[in-house]
Structure 1
Amino acid sequence: MATTVEISIAGREDADAPLLGDLIEQIQDFFAMLNGVTETLTGDAIERFDWKVVGLSKNSPARITVEAIPLPGHSDGPQIAERAREITVGGLRQLIAKGERPLYFSDNVIEAADRFLRRMTRQLSATTVGSSDAEATEVTVGTVAAIEALRHVEIVREAEPVHPYRELGSFEGYIQNVGTDGWQRPFIIVKSRVTGADVKCYLSGEALRALEDEPVAQVVWRNRRVTAVGVLKYRSVGRLSQAEVTRLDFADPDESLPQLKDIIDLGFTDGLSSHEYLERVRNGEA
């Protein structure tokens, strides 16, 4: 059986007619959730399927039906889409019922769910997500359910972050702060040089000793550049948020780095111009 998603969206105007922008954005946010769940489920951002519109209806409320189609080289795409659909719909039902993060709901998925739910407290009156498969999980979110789910979303946000995957590795950045948490575990905040995101790094062993040997002024006040090595924890694909660091490699302060005058050799070409010198190199004469 084909993997399908049916979404019906009711507005607050006459005949349940939603505004065009609300209709489009509500559909986009549901599939943002589903795609985020897929990334966490598979552990990567590879696109394995796409969605083809197979049905449109305005028999109050507006309804759209889409079918998953495999992308080249990914014949299992529809099966993955089916599992992601069930997890996403089940996750919405869980958020309505309690304040616990649903399985595979990364921070990006939670943000999309917040937008999806919040629209039901303003412009829309209800959204139903299901499938043409009668055995598929279905959820209907009205205004009351959306308000309750949004309350649970805030509880999830305040809870300890969930890291769907982790890896051994390193990243480079600049130390912003040092401190200890409520359990007196030492940590540093490092701003990633690549993404600009702040990453909380808990220190142990060699990393802790390396930090203790560095003057406070060098570490914090001068935004000391460092490479942190250990277990990197990701909230979602490519989004590093925390690390268990066992080694810190501090970069040399700027003043100890070689200057231009230190590396220029005025006698390198024996007085020849650059053009003449390169010509000799090409001819094998230098």
Structure 2
Amino acid sequence: MTTTVQLSIAGRGENDSPLLDDLLDQVRDYFEMINGVAASMAEGNAEQYDWRVVGLSKNSPATITVEAVARSGFPDGANLAARAREQTSYGLVRLQRESVRPLHFTDNVLEAADRFARRVTRGLAETSVVAQNSIEVVFRPADAVATIDHIAVVRADDPVHPYKELGSLEGLIQTVGADAWGHPFIVVRNRLTNADVKCFLAGEALSALEEEPVANVVWKQRRVTALGILRYRSLGKISQADVTHLEFADPARKLPGPADVIDRQFTGGLSSEEYLERLHNGDA
């Protein structure tokens, strides 16, 4: 199956004619987004395909159709381009609706998306993207303004995740909800950092939440341990989590306090300095 994309670009001039710079830059930024997403998917090895122009039209609006062609030695190159194209469309539509960084949208991809949207608030009246087996993306001025605002929030509040790891976090549930795509989540206030972390739920985690009474979860701020993939914005700072298992703590059981963990007889009556000196000398 071929991997094609068709862009229709309407200007604000006579007969929807776009300026040359706007037309070329809009096409360039769109494929910069796709290629950036592909680079993230392929962990940097995105040079597996080329884009070939297979159609041009100026029947109001101007239209360009391109096809992905695998490079020599990369038989799956066109497939990578197709997956990146689909993820790019999904991400652009998501940015029109909410201030959440789409998957594989690195800072460079966000920059291109911002330029792509801003052009529709100035010299262009509309840009639409149509691809087989993928959602259609349409940018009109209102869509572009919303996208620009959402990208600004993402840049300020949700830097790109530099790394991720399998792990767990513990804290109190602050909020329960779903994003614009219907993906359920909880917001957990991390016990160690006191920062709120959005945890998207799937599998056993979602089932465990559904079994809990709403009042206990939402109003009583249940303490929970969430296990899954933790995504970090920087060293030690969790920005988001994909959770597959939840463990609810017994609400009647309190966290241990200092009196529960400190053993005043640990040094046998010695001061800390005396105990450490004896330990150093092998006498403790």
Classify the TM-score, shorter chain. Answer: 0.5 to 0.7
Question: Which blocks of at least 5 consecutive residues in structure 2 are unaligned?
Answer: 166-192, 196-230, 237-284
User: What is the rounded CA distance, in whole Å, between the counterparts of 1:164 and 1:87 in structure 2?
Assistant: 19
Cα deviation, 1:113-141, whole Å, max 9, x if unaligned, reads 0000000000101000112x2x3221110
Contact 1:10/1:16 (8 A) holds in 2 = yes
1:155 counterpart = 2:170: no
User: What is the rounded CA distance, in whole Å, between the counterparts of 1:122 and 1:51 in structure 2?
Assistant: 27
Assess, with a 3 A threshold, how the Cα gap between structure 1 residues 104 and 164 changes in structure 2: closer, same or farther. Answer: farther
User: How many residue pairs end up in the alignment?
Assistant: 177
Contact 2:8/2:62 (8 A) holds in 1 = yes
User: What is the rounded CA distance, in whole Å, between the counterparts of 2:66 and 2:113 in structure 1?
Assistant: 20
User: What is the rounded CA distance, in whole Å, between the counterparts of 2:3 and 2:100 in structure 1?
Assistant: 28
Assess, with a 3 A threshold, how the Cα gap between structure 1 residues 166 and 72 changes in structure 2: closer, same or farther. Answer: farther
Q: Secondary structure in 2 aligned to 1:104?
A: coil
Contact 2:89/2:134 (8 A) holds in 1 = no
- The RMSD of aligned alpha carbons is 2.6
User: What is the rounded CA distance, in whole Å, between the counterparts of 1:86 and 1:115 in structure 2?
Assistant: 20
Q: 1:211 aligns to what?
A: none
User: What is the rounded CA distance, in whole Å, between the counterparts of 1:165 and 1:48 in structure 2?
Assistant: 24
Matches within 5 A, 1:244-283: none
1:15 counterpart = 2:15: yes
Q: 2:249 aligns to what?
A: none
Question: Which blocks of at least 5 consecutive residues in structure 1 are unaligned?
Answer: 168-182, 186-233, 236-240, 245-286
User: What is the rounded CA distance, in whole Å, between the counterparts of 2:142 and 2:161 in structure 1?
Assistant: 31
Q: 1:138 aligns to what?
A: 136
What is the TM-score with the length of structure 1 in the denominator? Answer: 0.58
1:99 Cα offset (Å): 0.9
1:93 Cα offset (Å): 0.4
Q: 1:104 aligns to what?
A: 104
User: What is the rounded CA distance, in whole Å, between the counterparts of 1:184 and 1:37 in structure 2?
Assistant: 33
Percent sequence identity over aligned pairs: 48
Divergent runs of 4+, >4 A: 164-167, 241-244
Contact 1:43/1:165 (8 A) holds in 2 = no
Cα deviation, 1:80-129, whole Å, max 9, x if unaligned, reads 10010000011110000111111111111001100000000001010001
What is the TM-score with the length of structure 2 in the denominator? Answer: 0.58
User: What is the rounded CA distance, in whole Å, between the counterparts of 1:160 and 1:56 in structure 2?
Assistant: 39
